[in-house]
Chain A
Amino acid sequence: MKTLQLSAATVPTVRKINFSPVVLILAAILLVLIIPPAAYLVASSLYTTNFDGSFDQFTFQFFADLLRNPYFLRSLMHTAVYSLGSACVGIVLGTVLAIIVERTNTPGRKYAFLGAVISLAIPHVLYTVAWLMILGKSGPFNQMLKAIFGASAPTFDVYSLPGMILIEGVGFVPLTFLMMSAVLRSTDAAFEEASMMSGAGPIATFWKITLRMGMPGVLALLLLSFIRAFESFEVPAIVGLAGNIEVLSTSIYQSSRATTPPNFGQAGAYSVCLLAFLACLLYFYGRLSRHAHRYQTITGKGYRPRVIDLGRGRYASMLVLIAILLFVIGLPLAIIVFVSFKPFFGSFNVASLSRWTLKNYATVIGPGFFRSTLVNTLVLGTVTASIVVPFTALCAWLAVRRKPAAWVLDQLATAPLTFPSIVMGVAFLQVFVNLPFPFYGTLTSVIVASAVAYLPYGMRYAYAGVLQIHSDLEEASTASGAPQMQTFIRIVLPLLSASMISCWLFVFLLAVRAMSLPLLLVGPGSSLVAVSLFDLWQNGQVTELAAMGTVWVALMTCVSGCFYLVARRYRILTA
């Protein structure tokens, strides 16, 4: 009798687990890619390592060491202050820029999009170095302060927490601007009009209406910026380490790289802590994004956001626009171009102009190491984006249309978001090196790791894209006898093309400018631009770095420019 009851109870459960073969294959691919690095990471934090780096004894010692280590708490504090600070700087500047562009009649506002897209192409390491040159003790900013205040010593120390926050925060502006623009564009301006009609001024209207309606978007953006700063590596490595300010990501780097033999256990324990923090934050981010639909205000009634006529004030807002764009893209690029003509890195004065040289460009453009680096990077970006986009489009379509168990795909493809790049680099290095065939150190290995790292971004783009497509056409296709895959290829993909193009470019730009993930994975013959820039910085070849950076940004500006034209054609951007 008991047996009978049990089997009766289990029957419906068995029926529920009804994976379609496509879902099964996709899930298997994701599991194979995601589980090994995660498993390695946890194992490394729980085993001591031998001199050669192999695992030895099981232990909780590394976690106990962390708790006893005064530097860990300090590092944690630094991480929190740095992440919150830079998220705030990024959001304030990005929001101001978005409001000017989306809601005012400021002249030239449309160029902000072009600026944002171009600056997305600048590798973070180049950007950080540029700001160090500007804000450094002998840089133009301190020279200006000296001239104003007549001080003998430099006034502003960039190798400090405020310096780090400023550089990272300004670096966030393109992203926060693009995301805030999207929030503002989807907020019904009728409420703002009503507010203005009732006598409220533009500032009161913004504060009481616009900001509150966009609040879920703003909060989600704040959390996202915080998370990105939490796991960022370039600014902490280049600015923080020089100023003796360690954050979690640099602690991992120091433990796994800067000591010989490497302390993989300590790096693993740091990584597990970082993962745990990020998982909590992402949980809240997920909740915020899930409830965002409550605030949806797009009505579908021929709606168009209201543009506020600023009158003469529009020239003032133009100045603000120019100032922010100068900060975000103008000044860093100008200083990089300036340095690229110098024979050596030194102070910034007119006298140094007499020694300008094209030597650095000759080195970069000529055949050899740098040229192959440029080609490798373009291949990496192109192949990674071309893998991620169709893969996530298929996963997202299956998930959105609630195919059996397809929610697993969404979860799995989003999971890499919890891995900070530097942690993923450490984990993939260990997995690749242990494969029984020559894979590690190759460009293909970097492509595989990058594809995994950018799956979540592809997933979000594709998910949003599929949500916008009504299922009528697909149902018609199925009703006419087309199999599932044919429906996907002939109906869904063409309809998704607009969001897939922008997703492709986004993943391409992320992949070509990333440094902390490939840093540990590149090998002979697979050098990449961002990693080479970091190497040049560490080697003190700053003038060659500047020349390489200039050439790269010029190249990426062409790519972004082409995208801008395509985007206008397909109305991906409303600029």
Chain B
Amino acid sequence: MNRRSRITQSVSIVMAFPLLAGLGTPVFAQSQEEILHYAGADREKVLAEGAAKEGELVVYSAMIADQALQPLTDAFMKKYPSVTVTFWRGDSEDIAQRVLAEERANNVVVDVVEGTSVSENLIKAEAVQTFTSPMLDQYPDSYRDPNHLWAATRVSYYCMAYNTDMVNAADVPKSYEDLLDPKWQGQIAWRIGSESGTPLFITNLRSAWGEEKAEEYLKKLSAQKIVNFGAGSARTLVDRVIAGEYAMALNVFCHHPLISAEDGAPVASQLMSPVASTTATLLIPKNIRHPYGAALFTDFLLSEDGQKILLGADYFPAHPKVLPSEMLQKIVPHEVGYEENLVRPEALVNNGKKSDELYQTYFR
């Protein structure tokens, strides 16, 4: 063998190695669709055996890493020690983009996706496949997709947060109308740059009140010189309220102020009818590498055991039998007499453009 062909051979081996590693994923007789819809009595056994052969599982989720994702994956791996779960935490928008990029490149790394506003974008791009889970039988219809493309994992309620040192208990705005009092001018902030921020606030009012009344209200609200907060999550904005940078913040996750108040922070939540609520959803992308593991993880997350782990992170589980903690029950709208408006994932995305236009017109 001359020198040149030796080099060619070495290069080919080096180039082929990662290719072979990629193709080394176990291939089973059943198709992905069969696995994800398998309804036999031995479902758990079949899935667990398949997942053990796959050996690994990749989850992308918007849940807080150390408080929810880590305990969840730890519990799963304790129950199924042959499966190694790795996760990546990102905002819902980041997750959707990453999945689309993988799909486009025919290089799907993720097996299970979870987040607040990921579903509609992935469904529109036809990047997800259908699945069923026996756990879903106990879930209400509003918490699952009729076409089996997504299932709700947790619920979020949105409300106003206020600094208790800066706003007297007697003055606290109790309704959207109360927010229009001129004395609050420049003291209210809301979150831009995220679908669960201004688009959700505006979409909620439009769907509950109708276009005309909502726009009229937004026009009046714009006179309040609302601060456009563009850095970080709703939780970050609550921190700013605690720190006294803003007296009030609109459309934050209702449980965040409660958690901090429990630790002694000067902050409280105020619900306003109609209270916007959303669900985070679980989806399974097309062409995944570990379908057994994905189905097994789906069952686990939607089961009572899995949902109870979310309680530890102070989330509102979607499972009807797993009630939120006593502290958080105070802000479940229908429990405390407030009107609730569930903004479904498709409603948020389909109304997003118009809601953004209204934001641009009155508040940018």
Contacts and interface: CB of A to CB of B under 8 A. Distances in A.
B269 to A, nearest CB: 15
Contacts of A527: 88
B96 A260 contact: yes
A535 B236 CA distance: 11
B245 A137 contact: yes
Nearest to B244: A138
A393 interface: no
Contact of A368 (B66, B100, B245): B66
Contacts of A437: 18-19, 21-22
Q: Which 4 A-B pairs have the closest CB atoms?
A: A540-B235, A242-B231, A437-B18, A524-B86
26 contacts: A51-B125, A52-B104, A241-B193, A241-B230, A257-B97, A258-B193, A259-B93, A261-B97, A261-B125, A344-B242, A344-B265, A345-B239, A345-B243, A347-B242, A434-B105, A435-B105, A436-B19, A438-B107, A440-B109, A525-B88, A535-B65, A537-B236, A539-B235, A540-B239, A541-B235, A542-B236
Interface in B160-195: 193, 195
Contacts of B89: 535
B30 interface: no
A238 B240 CA distance: 14
Contacts of A532: 65
Interface string A282-295: 00000000000000
A539 B256 CA distance: 11
Of B74, B110, B239, the most chain A CB neighbours within 10 A belong to B239
A404 interface: no
Given A258-B93, A262-B97, A344-B265, A441 B109 contact: yes
A346 B243 contact: yes
Interface string B92-122: 0110111011111101011000000000010
A13 interface: no
B283 interface: no
A355 interface: yes
A442 B242 CA distance: 38
B134 interface: no
Interface string A362-401: 0100001110000000000000000000000000000000
A551 to B, nearest CB: 14
B229 interface: yes
Interface string B261-277: 00111100000000000
Interface residues of A, number: 57
B59 interface: yes
A238 B90 CA distance: 17
Given A344-B263, A438-B107, A260 B97 contact: yes
Given A53-B100, A433-B104, 13 more contacts: A51-B124, A51-B125, A52-B103, A138-B245, A433-B102, A437-B22, A523-B88, A524-B58, A524-B60, A538-B236, A539-B64, A539-B232, A542-B236
B59 A434 contact: no
Interface residues of B, number: 61
Interface string A395-435: 00000000000000000000000000000000001100111
B264 A355 contact: yes
Interface string A188-221: 0000000000000000000000000000000000
Interface in A239-284: 239, 241-242, 244, 254, 257-262
B243 A136 contact: yes
A430 B101 contact: yes
Contacts of B109: 438, 440-441, 523-524
B309 to A, nearest CB: 14
B245 to A, nearest CB: 4
Nearest to B126: A52
B105 A433 contact: yes
A523 B264 CA distance: 36
Interface string A30-72: 0000000000000000000001111000000000000000000
Task: Report which residue of B88, B91, B232 has the largest number of chain A beta carbons within 10 angstroms of its beta carbon.
Answer: B232
A138 B86 CA distance: 39
Given A258-B193, A346-B266, A441-B109, A539 B236 contact: yes
A430 B97 CA distance: 12
Contacts of A538: 91, 231-233, 236
A522 B60 CA distance: 12
A438 B288 CA distance: 13
B245 A537 contact: no
B80 interface: no
Contacts of A137: 243-245
B260 interface: yes
A122 interface: no
A532 B234 CA distance: 18
B265 A346 contact: yes
A242 B58 CA distance: 33
B105 A438 contact: no
Contacts of B264: 343-344, 355
Interface of A: 51-54, 136-139, 154, 237-239, 241-242, 244, 254, 257-262, 343-347, 355, 363, 368-370, 429-430, 433-441, 522-525, 527, 532, 535, 537-542, 544
Contacts of B233: 538-540
B112 to A, nearest CB: 11
B124 A540 contact: no
Given A439-B18, A538-B91, A260 B236 contact: no
Interface in B335-350: none
A452 B86 CA distance: 27
Contact of A52 (B69, B87, B125, B230): B125
A441 B60 CA distance: 12
Contacts of B236: 537-540, 542
Contact of A241 (B93, B231, B239): B231
B138 interface: no
Contacts of B244: 137-138, 347
B331 interface: no
A433 B101 contact: yes
Contacts of B239: 344-346, 540, 542
Nearest to A51: B125
Nearest to B234: A540
B35 interface: no
A438 B18 contact: yes
Contacts of B101: 53, 429-430, 433
A98 to B, nearest CB: 34
Contacts of A434: 105, 107
A513 to B, nearest CB: 20
Contacts of B232: 242, 537-540
Interface string B220-236: 00000000111111111
A441 B96 CA distance: 15
B65 A369 contact: yes
Nearest to A364: B66
Contacts of B59: 524
Nearest to A434: B105
B238 interface: yes
B60 A544 contact: no
A54 B105 CA distance: 9
Contacts of A343: 263-264
A435 B22 CA distance: 11
B86 A525 contact: yes
B70 interface: yes
A435 B100 contact: no
A53 B245 CA distance: 39
Interface string B305-319: 000000000000000
A347 B127 contact: no
Contacts of B22: 436-438
Contacts of A355: 263-264
B85 to A, nearest CB: 9
A353 to B, nearest CB: 12
Given A138-B243, A258-B93, A540-B239, A441 B88 contact: yes
Interface string B8-38: 0000000000110110000000000000000
A537 B96 CA distance: 21
